[in-house]
Structure 1
Amino acid sequence: MTSVRQNRSVLTGVTEWVYWLVTIDVLLVVACSPTILAWTLLTAEPSSVLLLVVATLPVVPAVSAALYAWRRRSEDPDLVPASRFLRGYRLNLLDSLKVGVPAVLVLGILSANVTFGAQLGTASFNAAFLALGALVLLVLVRALTIVSNFSFRLVDVLRLSVFTLLTKPLSTLALLSLGVLTLGLVQFIGSFMLLLAGSLLTVALWHSEKPVARLLRERFVSPDEEPVPAPAG
């Protein structure tokens, strides 16, 4: 009887994980549908590179909502992924866009400079532009982790993002590894793979960022303060 009960428990756990993964993945696709539509309609030409990058902006609050949902699941594994995602989207929308809009604009400008480097005479700076773009992307992802867990001022979010990138090197290395994995999926399989692996990538991101959230909670959140994002304003 114990064996049957244990097998049923394992099966239940696997089923719940699959349900969460599928639901979060579907919600990510829906939330990112403006980006998907823009990337479908825009041609992959040098002149469109800035628009293609800016069109990724809807991905920012979607990833933040997914991170919020995965955090809530680690605290309470009820089978309510949709409500957790939607609540995270509503709570984090403004804060995630505050960090996302300037970062995406900078990434778009850097991408345009790399693409038109020969015409602009800045091709010799392409390596520096790419390095700066990688740094901006790291800060953006770390900032999304922070706004998905806490309600800090924008300037504090940016400061803590840079601070934790330096003080949590293993988590930073995990971010780089996930970035390389994502780039590999797009390069060798196709960008459509992101539609299928979005939930897996975000749950991996959440688990890799747990030490950062723990550090911030211990050092920058008072014991009687609830570390849940509040609506901006």
Structure 2
Amino acid sequence: MSTLFRCAALIYTLLAVELLFLLTAAPGLALLLLLDRSASNVPLFALCAVPLAPAASAAVYAFRRRKSDLADLRPLLDFMRGYRLNVVAVLRIWLPALGLLAVLGVSLTHRGAAGIPAWWSALLVALGAAVVLWSVNAVVIASLFVFRTADIAKLAAYFLARRPGVALGTAGILLTAGAITVLASEAVALLPASLLIAGLVLVSRPMCAEIEERFLA
């Protein structure tokens, strides 16, 4: 019976967080669904992504505080508290990262007109991937810990090398979301958002545990 209760609690939390994520990210998502997959829209894609990080941060916070007791579930309160506490810290990390990704995206989608050689394009792709993985680390850290922005940035970069398993797990989750988007649509990719974020919390556990042990002790 306890296993059944834990499963019910998890499903309830996933559904509640999914709904809250969609509601808080709705301004950007609504515009995103209206845009064509055109290279000229890369800056607009970045603009649409602005609300995603605070919403994902709140979801990370809610999942980290999740309990298995059906009588003690508060995903709404945890989500909204996480959003309120972390929105400023997350945007301080997320906005510069989005700006850089937008520049890289425009450069790659217009590489012919700009005369960018293939080897340079490969470097830009590698840099973009590193920025994405770094920003995910930074959002998770900002969601669960209170550090200065500069320290969050340093820790996010440090753990890319220190915990490659976390980076690989994050890359797998992002590739899954990307594959769903390419094969179906952005709308379909949003349906398992809470499940993907819960997976992110799971793969980030070694990083979070080391932060608690080494930097908060």
Residue 28 of structure 2 corresponds to residue 35 of structure 1: yes
Deviation at 1:202, TM superposition (A): 0.5
CA distance in 2 between partners of 1:186 and 1:95 (Å) = 28
Look up the match of 2:104.
110
Look up the match of 1:15.
8
Look up the match of 2:86.
92
Task: List structure 1 runs of 4+ shifted beyond 3 angstroms.
Answer: 74-77
Look up the match of 1:174.
169
Q: Which piece of structure 1 moves more, 67-76 or 150-159?
A: 67-76
CA distance in 1 between partners of 2:14 and 2:143 (Å) = 18
User: SS at the partner of 1:141?
Assistant: helix
Q: Which amino acid aligns with 1:85?
A: F
Look up the match of 2:60.
67
Q: Which piece of structure 1 moves more, 38-47 or 126-135?
A: 38-47
Residues 40, 169 of structure 1: CA spacing in aligned structure 2 closer, same or farther, 3 A cutoff? closer
Q: Which piece of structure 1 moves more, 212-221 or 69-78?
A: 69-78
CA distance in 2 between partners of 1:36 and 1:162 (Å) = 28
Q: Which amino acid aligns with 1:88?
A: G
Look up the match of 2:185.
190
Residue 153 of structure 2 corresponds to residue 158 of structure 1: yes
Look up the match of 1:229.
none
Q: Which piece of structure 1 moves more, 18-27 or 119-128?
A: 119-128
Q: Deviations over 1:57-85 (max 9, x none)?
A: 10010111110011111598721101100
Query: Taking structure 2 as the reference length, what is the TM-score of the superposition?
Result: 0.94
Q: Which piece of structure 1 moves more, 28-37 or 42-51?
A: 42-51
CA distance in 2 between partners of 1:219 and 1:29 (Å) = 35
Look up the match of 2:132.
137
Deviation at 1:48, TM superposition (A): 1.5
Instruction: Give the number of the structure whose alpha-carbon radius of gyration is greater.
Output: 1
Gaps of 5+ in 2: none
Deviation at 1:11, TM superposition (A): 2.6
CA distance in 1 between partners of 2:60 and 2:97 (Å) = 19
Native 8 Å contact 2:97 2:131 kept in 1: yes
Query: Taking structure 1 as the reference length, what is the TM-score of the superposition?
Result: 0.87
Gaps of 5+ in 1: 1-5, 223-233
RMSD of equivalent CA atoms: 1.6
Native 8 Å contact 2:15 2:194 kept in 1: yes
Q: Deviations over 1:130-185 (max 9, x none)?
A: 11110000000000111111111111111111111111121121111112211122
Residue 77 of structure 2 corresponds to residue 83 of structure 1: yes
Look up the match of 1:225.
none
Q: Which piece of structure 1 moves more, 138-147 or 51-60?
A: 51-60
Q: Which amino acid aligns with 1:90?
A: R
Report the count of equivalent residues: 215
Q: Which amino acid aligns with 1:166?
A: A
Q: Which piece of structure 1 moves more, 109-118 or 182-191?
A: 182-191
Native 8 Å contact 2:33 2:187 kept in 1: no
Q: Which amino acid aligns with 2:31?
A: A
Residue 17 of structure 2 corresponds to residue 24 of structure 1: yes
